[in-house]
Amino acid sequence: MKKAIYTKKALLVDSGSQSKPFSDLSDAEVQGLSLDRRFLIAYEAGLNLATIALYCSGYETHGQGHHWTTFQVLPHLMGSEYQEFAEYMDLCRTKRNIGTYGRGGQISESEVDELLKEVLNFKSVVVDWLKANHPELIE
């Protein structure tokens, strides 16, 4: 992980429903999609939210293992109370890898619903964290 320098304009986070990762959450609720796809979309929304905290703290990750690294550093950036969420997302990362690179059809509807619930809660946390720690970066 290396320290990154960003302009405020480049980091400005639009918390509207049409911006990434917020639009991903709506997409993950589409009932016509496969459970694997809905899980993947919800996971990506959670990863994007965690990445916002990483970038706003001046860091970025690249290459192999960047998902894992993002979740490992999240509690260090946002506080130890997010350790459990980071561990949960790392478990979801493993499930996502199986569905993406291995065999599909392993995700249940309850797993999708749980992930959506967790990521929706985390979305509120990230928006509040941004308002408290980086108000200049949120609309």
pLDDT value at position 20? 53
The mean of the pLDDT values for the chain is: 80
pLDDT value at position 19? 52
Residues of the chain with pLDDT under 50: 1-12, 15-18
pLDDT value at position 65? 86
pLDDT value at position 22? 56
CA 28 to CA 45: how far, in whole Å? 9
Helices (H), the chain: 8-11, 22-28, 35-56, 66-78, 83-101, 109-133
The model's pTM:
0.80
- Find tokens 């986070």 and name the residue: 13
pLDDT value at position 121? 94
Q: What is the pLDDT of residues 8-30, one digit of tens each?
A: 334 445 544 445 555 667 777 77
SS3 19: coil
Q: Domains, the chain, ranges and CATH?
A: 2-137 (1.20.120)
